[in-house]
Amino acid sequence: MIVLVCEVVADLLQPTIVARIINEGVMQNDIDVVIRLGGVMLLVTLMGASCAVVRSIISSKVSQEFGADLRMDLFSRINRFSFKALSKWETAGIITRMTNDTAQLVGFTNGLMRVFVRAPALLIGAIVMTVLLNPRLAIILVVVVPVIATLMFISMKVGFPLFTKVQGALEKNNAVIREYLSGVRVVKAYNTFEQETTRFDNTNTELAEVSITAQRTVGSFYPIVSFAVNMSLVMTLWLARGWVANSQMQVGEVVAFLNYMMQISIAIRMIFGVYQMFIRAKASAERVGDILAEEDVTKELGLAQMTPDITASIEFRNVSFTYPGGGYEPVLREVSFSIAPGETLGIIGSTGSGKTTLVQLIPGFYTPTEGKVLIGEQSTDEIDLDILRGAVAYVSQQNTIFYGTIASNIRMGNVDATQEEIEAAARIACAHDFIVEYPDGYETIIGQKGVNLSGGQRQRVGIARALVRKAPILIMDDSVSALDVETEAKIMRAIYDLTGTNGQASKADATTPTCLLIAQRISSVMNLANILVMKDGRVDGFGNHEELMKSCKTYQEIYHSQMI
């Protein structure tokens, strides 16, 4: 603000100095006055230029740091979204808001500091100077300023909804690009490049058309504003002509007045330009605000009811669950069972029986619609999520591999893990042998989404990531489906050794994790002491292999379909 004021003062002083140079120096043939006032004008100009440089540096620094803070706030907010909230937000929409919409706000903030604050100050100062210089000529501003203000108001009312559509069209375009890049192998495998090209062409054309409409509509106001400003200059010259001829006004005053009118013109154009930026930034601000205003977020860390230690017993009490969004049938219906600390539970059932949903309730990915999930003696919705998820090692069906080294991907399970611990976990997951075959071993760079690993290799890295965590609860959600039977058997034997020979709590010690194993192959779980059979979201059987072969028809059907 200090440098802005100094810069504006420097700009406003120059026409007055020019008027004195003309009236007292040029008109009087006094070269000393011209030199003296010319030197003053040079110093004033230098001061204004220096302030302009400082202003640009400060505004760039502040606007970019504002953008960095805003992106971090958005990322932190998204990180706290519940799975329910994430399911209703398009990935492309979130990315667009964090990049393009944020960039619009950064650009507006930069313009706000560099131009928009300076322009009103220059406009007001120039108007004041014109009134002081010649009140009769200043009457022109009474006509021009309201006209321009009205045009700017209409521009905002018309432009705002158009630029909202532009950002929406950009979001659609980004969504098509993201889907194509994510599924590029499917596109090439099915040779659907023409269809994808058509999809992109449609969204790309829509984006171009909406952008053209918005820019054309808002841009059409600019020449009208320029015409109004230039007409005021013509009127000034026409009125001043007669007053100078009648010696009612000096030539220097006319020059000064025209300079002030030019400053008013420049200020109005700057304001109008930033105003156009404001229209687009306002649309982006509302889109960014939608994320920051999302209320469906996970609990804040550090709650009073947090549990510092979790005993790894797990109990489901009449749990029912329906996915949010409306119109969905319950996925789980009155599910009840319990396992003691250190026990291993095998979970089996047909596709769509609710197995994955069941285990996702344990780390608090979702909250039960009815009933409670208890860990220890405490409900999961009463446990601080940081502690709850720190007590769970989860291996999903499709393991996400991040760009980086193999070691860094495994170490995600435990950032403090030593190299020896990483290798030990990799051996249990049968990943060590293929890792050491790479020239760089554990420091081998993995491409985006693990493109240079096979599906089975990605699963084994994911299992090692979970094992190195050494969490009291281990969940393996059909995490060996991409492996051959021999490798699967090796991993399952290693898991059994880790959790006890047959998964019974009586044979486990304090370091034995409570383990839940979802499997499609009955051979992976049939030797366990506890097997949970799911059917249509309900518990259809619970017990060991012998008991279920006698009492559970669903289990019998799975056994006969796979083993005979």
CB atoms closer than 10 angstroms to residue 87: 13
Instruction: Give the type of residue at 17.
Output: I
Query: 160 and 210: one domain?
Result: yes
Q: What confidence score (pLDDT) does residue 319 get?
A: 92
Q: Does position 323 have pLDDT exceeding 70, yes or no? A: yes
Whether residue 134 sits in one domain with residue 11: yes
pTM: 0.65
Residue 134 lies in a domain: yes
pLDDT score of 69: 93
Average pLDDT over residues 348-372: 88
Cα-based angle 450, 452, 454 (whole degrees, multiple of 5): 80
Q: 459 lies in which domain range?
A: 314-563
Half-sphere exposure of 132 (CA within 13 A, CB side): 11
**Cβ–Cβ < 8 Å for 217, 158:** yes
Q: Tell me the per-residue pLDDT of 220-245, one tens digit each, with 9 for 90 and over.
A: 877 887 788 788 778 777 877 777 77
pLDDT at 64 over 80: yes
What are the residues whose beta carbons fall under 8 Å from the beta carbon of 535, sequence distance 6 or more? 349, 350, 353, 554
Decide: helix, strand or coil at residue 409: helix
d(CA 7, CA 1): 10
Report the pLDDT averaged over residues 187-196. 80
In a domain? residue 309: no
Q: How far apart are CA 304 and CA 556, in angstroms?
A: 47
CATH code for the domain of 288 = 1.20.1560.10
Verify that 224 and 330 share a domain, yes or no: no
Q: Residue 351 pLDDT more than 60?
A: yes
Asked whether the beta carbons of 450 and 461 are under 8 A apart, the reply is yes
Does 447 map to a domain? Answer: yes
Q: Are residues 550 and 423 in the same domain?
A: yes
Domain boundary at 292, 323, 344, which?
A: 292
- State the Cα torsion 329-334-340-345 to the nearest 10°: -40
DSSP-based three-state secondary structure for 475: strand
User: Closest Cα partner for 96 from 166, 180, 29, 42?
Assistant: 166
pLDDT value at residue 226: 77
Q: What is residue 195's three-state secondary structure? A: helix
- Averaged pLDDT for residues 5-23: 82
* Mean per-residue pLDDT, 171-176: 84
| Structural domain includes residue 81 | yes
If asked whether residues 269 and 329 sit together in one domain, one would say: no
Domain shared by 65 and 192, yes or no: yes
Same domain, 390 and 250: no
Q: Are residues 14 and 77 in the same domain?
A: yes
Q: Is the per-residue pLDDT at 339 higher than 80?
A: yes
How many structural domains are present in the chain? 2
Model confidence band, residue 208 (pLDDT cutoffs 50, 70, 90): very high
**CATH for 328:** 3.40.50.300
> How high is the pLDDT of residue 152?
74
Confidence tier at 327 by pLDDT (50, 70, 90) = low
* Residue in the structure block whose two tokens are 């003062």: 9
Residue 214 sits in the same domain as residue 354: no
Q: Does one domain contain both 253 and 394?
A: no
Per the domain annotation, does 392 fall within a domain? yes
Is residue 120 within 8 Å of residue 202, measured between CB atoms?
no
- Give the residues across from 392 on adjacent strands: 473
> Lowest-confidence range among 332-336, 427-431, 446-450, 554-558?
446-450
- Tell me: do 288 and 318 sit in the same domain: no
Q: What pLDDT, in 10s, does the model give residues 83-134?
A: 777 777 777 778 888 888 898 899 888 888 777 677 788 878 888 887 887 7
Residues 6+ apart with CB under 8 A from 58: 3, 113
Q: What value does the mean pLDDT take over residues 434-443?
A: 88
Query: Does residue 304 fall inside a structural domain?
Result: no
